[in-house]
Amino acid sequence: MANPNVIIHGVGLVPLNATEQDFMEIEVQSNNAAAIYPGYPVVAQSDGSVLRTAAAGGAGSTAVCIEILSLKDAVTGQVRTTGIRRVPANTVWTADKDRTRILVCLLNQHIRWKMMTDAAVASIAAARATRWANINHVYGTESPANGLGNCKAAIAGVNTTDTLQWRIINPLLDVPGNDPTQAGYALVVVPNVPPVGLPPLFGGSATGV
């Protein structure tokens, strides 16, 4: 099994307290419509595979991609198992041996996730007021050449709506250098909608309490 402690480069969800049993290998559906980078949430499909989770309220996830383990290179036609930074969109496989495989961390009720925001807020007080509120993730401009994804929390849309994807439990205001008046400050979040294909956990609350 791949190393579950691998560092996620780029922007996305990072598990803060996951243990070995929270990780598993799984396939990405052939001819996936959207690229998957480490740190991107993925959702279970009916054939047992996963795809990237849409950035929209109510779209639940199953896990978060941690590492790309193998994929069939569209240029060479060979299966790669090292140095893979992303699953490009429209990666097609047919034979079982050519499957795209990723290491994921399942969404469990004990795991907390670090997530960066896509924008700043007006003040520390405004950031503090986001605790227990809910938020969606969004995808920004990615850097395929560098293997850098761009999945962030849509801070302008923070609300108490029960169908938003994540709940903020800590704006990390006690962490030096984490300035909420600058874009890209970090939050700690948990799922706010039930995970797809997994046992229900807390979530779907309009108030968070």
Confidence of residue 206 (pLDDT cuts 50, 70, 90): confident
Domain boundaries, the chain: 15-106, 113-191
Q: Please report which confidence band the pLDDT of residue 11 belongs to, taking 50, 70 and 90 as the band edges.
A: confident
Contact between 51 and 45 (Cβ < 8 Å): yes
Residue that wins the pLDDT comparison between 204 and 16? 16
**What distances in angstroms separate CA 30 from CA 47, 91, 98, 103, 186, one per listed residue?**
11, 6, 10, 16, 33
Residue 78 pLDDT greater than 50, yes or no: yes
First-last CA distance in the chain: 38
**Six token digits for residue 148:** 């850098």
Residue 4 pLDDT: 45
| Per-residue model confidence (pLDDT) at position 6 | 47
For residue 151, the model assigns a pLDDT of 97
Here the tokens at position 107 are: 């969404």
The rounded distance, in Å, linking the Cα atoms of 37 and 9 is 9
- Which residue would you say has higher pLDDT here, 10 or 154? 154
pLDDT grade, residue 209 (50/70/90)? low
Q: Which of 8-17, 38-47, 72-81 has the lowest mean pLDDT?
A: 8-17
Please tell me the predicted confidence (pLDDT) of residue 199. 83
pLDDT single digits (tens) 117-172: 999 999 999 999 999 999 999 999 999 988 899 999 999 999 999 999 999 999 99
Give pLDDT, residue 32. 97
Partners of 153 in the beta sheet? 117, 137
